[in-house]
Amino acid sequence: MVRRSGIVALSMVVLLAPWSARADKQTLSTGLTYLTGKYGESYSTDVYYLPVVFKQEWKRSQCKATVPYLRIRTGNSPRTEEEGLGDILTSCTYSLIDKPWHGFLVDALGKVKWPTADERKSLGNGRVAYSLQADVYYLSGAVTPFATLGYKMPQDPPGSILRSVWYGTVGLAYKHSKTDSMGLLWDMQQASRVAGPGIGLDADGRPITGEDSMELTAYWVHKFNPQYKLQLYAIRGFSDASPDLGLGFMFSRVF
């Protein structure tokens, strides 16, 4: 929930905090995600994604900026490795329901991917992408089912045609105690390209291909205290557009 998929971890941050905790505050997060997969090719591609995330929260809204650093290593002959700044991602979320309604909460989100990555290194595709998204939660004690439905509108990079696509998430969060929670997410997204090999990377370091993506993510979160939180997660892909495997962590500090 990095798009998409999260970076899986980043899209999960909102889900991991109880609704009652939404207040005026700032959060600074960083971590590392490792993704590996063939993405429909005969060789593997390894992606190291290191984001710095700043989030400002108010009672019913929040805005977030993610500045990532990428390292991409391919096993093709000859073996290549590129690294540098990725595409910056900004988003704002607004809670459409001030208080839970029969246990339900609904958020609306707008997101913009800015083309700050070097497309000559295939770290991005050099174009802006916009997304609109709705998140629904059902508060039922320690267990919180949730779902996301979004629509991404990318601009066309030179020499290729990218289409607007639907994406979604269904998941279940479980609060084991005041300090520990865990959950599962199933992510899906239509292919941005009708067909053909990858053309650069999305904002979360995924190759843009002609295949739909499907991924399962499991996460665990531990709160050391009200200021510090650690999040661990594992990703398993189920399509050529998804990584075969992903592992990562995020460490957050609330101010």
pLDDT per residue as tens digits for the range 34-89: 999 988 788 899 999 999 999 999 989 999 999 999 999 998 777 889 999 999 99
- Domains in the chain, ordered, with CATH? 9-254 (2.40.128.130)
- The predicted pLDDT at position 195 comes to 52
- For the cut 80, the answer to whether the pLDDT of residue 191 exceeds it is yes
d(CA 195, CA 142): 43
How high is the mean pLDDT of the chain?
85
Q: What pLDDT band is residue 199 in, cutting at 50, 70 and 90?
A: very low
User: What pLDDT, on a 0 to 100 scale, did the predictor assign at position 130?
Assistant: 94
Average pLDDT over residues 192-212: 60
What pLDDT is stored for residue 1 in this prediction? 34
- Would the pLDDT of 207 be above 70? no
* pLDDT computed for residue 2 by the predictor: 35
SS (H, E, C) 170-218: EEEEEECCCCEEEEEEEEEECCCECCCCCCCECCCCCECCCCCEEEEEE
Which stretch of DSSP H or E encloses residue 123? none
What's the CA dihedral at 125, 41, 67, 251 to 10 degrees?
170
Amino acid 119: pLDDT = 86
